[in-house]
Amino acid sequence: MPEKPERIWVRSCQVPTAKLSPLKSTDFIGGNQGNLLYQFSTYRALVRDDVELSTISYGKFSKGAVEERAEWINSECDRLVLPLSSSFRLQNLKNLDLWADLVERLTIPVTVVGIGAQLRLQDVRAGTFLPARVTGVTASAGEIEEHEAAARRFVAAVLDRSASIGVRGEISKRYVQYLGFPGDRVDVIGCPSLFTWGPDFQMPEHDVKLNRRSKISLSFDHRIEDSAELLDETISRYPRSTVYMQEKLAAQMVITGEDTRPDWVGDDRFPLKTSHRTFRHHRMVYYPTAWSWIRHLEDMDFAFGPRLHGTVAATLAGTSAHLLVHDSRTLEIAEHHHLPHTLTDDLGSVRSAADLAARQDYSAFNAAYRELCGRFTGFLERNSLRSAYDEPGAALEAFDASLESPARVPGVVSAQGVPANLRERVVARVRRARS
């Protein structure tokens, strides 16, 4: 009798082959489309002929009585894989406790892939470990102590069910050690999103020369104030530049044509309202699937911004990209993977996007890529997860073929006309959120 395939579940916002409508898709990205990249890459790395691979949604993982969820997972799944991002951040305290509640009740192996800390750059330099929001630390000593207790509890529960925990970089490893865990149980694997295409991927190495006709994809984060001037200058100087709206509310604004942050008051150089010139001039874009986002970026000449996965998506498309580093999570990923980057502290010396383009060099990225991908797959194997790249089979070939349809999903461009029913739905959502 043939051996029964191992049932592996991967926590994910949506299934990798999903083709949701534009508006519905924004409800299944975990708040930011970048989440799909590290989740889908982890999934692809596990697609093998000898396993039964499925996703478990955010809702099924986190909602409902914890005892019932644990019993269901224990009975239906042989191994649970949790691709995570900067989960050691202040606003994630509640989730860390909820996740620990569940994992402590599981009797199956649990593998955490790519978790990271979020610290301010000044705290990295000082060697202190104060979990932060993007805008900086806004918590009391008591709240930070509570956060650390939740993080410690979650890591302990995971390590009771795995050989090691996979973290994004050296800073995150030091943070987990600071929490009290031994370094030999912490593997630095980078962000799995950068290994989406497997061990043979390489970036084109050529000079990037920009002119007024260059197509530049911009990511932005309105909380990174130092980036506003360069973003605005690029929009003015390069008329074919576009802003990719990967965050939920920004994407919904493009889709519906309605302001989703009507009460926001801040630097108006950030494209957060329909009154912004990029909205009116059809220069805001959103693609409903991760694969169509990547394919869209294949047509760009250059990409830059402070969004980590905006940089990653462009890289996966083979498009030269430059990351604006503003905290520990962007710093450690840039350093681990040798991504072209500039600290936001140093943007005063950057006159235009052309200055960033002149700094592009993928020689170190390419030289280190295979070894770093091997560390990632080695981590999986250490935790009894065989990589799809060891023996690529029919399952991986079929999975890749299934991505062609979601990769062809058309994008949405701002100010192109929006059906009234979509406007009504998003206005209702915004009002509910504000009430």
Instruction: Please enumerate in sequence order all residues whose Cβ is within 8 A of that of 396, keeping only pairs 6 or more positions apart, or say none.
Output: 44, 47, 48, 388
Q: Does 321 share its domain with 420?
A: yes
Q: Does 189 share its domain with 231?
A: no
Q: Give every residue of the chain whose pLDDT is below 70, as ranges.
A: 1-2, 138, 417-435
Question: Rg of the Cα trace of the chain?
Answer: 21
The Cα–Cα gap between 131 and 375 comes to 26
What type of residue is 332?
Answer: E
In a domain, 209, yes or no: no
In a domain, 129, yes or no: yes
pLDDT recorded at residue 383: 98
pLDDT recorded at residue 432: 63
Containing structural domain, residue 345: 216-367+408-430
* H or E element in which residue 100 lies: helix 93-103
In a domain, 37, yes or no: yes
What type of residue is 4?
Answer: K
pLDDT recorded at residue 1: 46
pLDDT recorded at residue 154: 98
DSSP letter, residue 120: B
Please say whether the beta carbons of 239 and 211 come within 8 A: no
Q: Look at the chain and report how many structural domains it folds into.
A: 2
Instruction: Please enumerate in sequence order all residues whose Cβ is within 8 A of that of 238, keeping only pairs 6 or more positions apart, or say none.
Output: 210, 212, 214, 216, 353
pLDDT recorded at residue 394: 96
Q: Does 29 share its domain with 173?
A: yes
Task: Give, rounded to a whole angstrom, the gap between the first and last alpha carbons of the chain.
Answer: 59
In a domain, 435, yes or no: no
In a domain, 183, yes or no: yes
In CATH, what number is assigned to the domain containing residue 374? Answer: 3.40.50
Q: Does 282 share its domain with 155?
A: no
Q: Does 380 share its domain with 273?
A: no
In a domain, 206, yes or no: no
In a domain, 208, yes or no: no
Q: Does 259 share its domain with 361?
A: yes
- Residue 417: which region, alpha, beta or left (left: phi > 0; alpha: psi -120 to 50)? left
The Cα–Cα gap between 325 and 139 comes to 23
Q: Does 257 share its domain with 351?
A: yes
- Burial level of 223, CB count in 10 A (0-12/13-18/19+)? middle
Q: Does 235 share its domain with 188?
A: no
Q: Does 44 share its domain with 171?
A: yes
In a domain, 211, yes or no: no
Q: Does 13 share its domain with 122?
A: yes
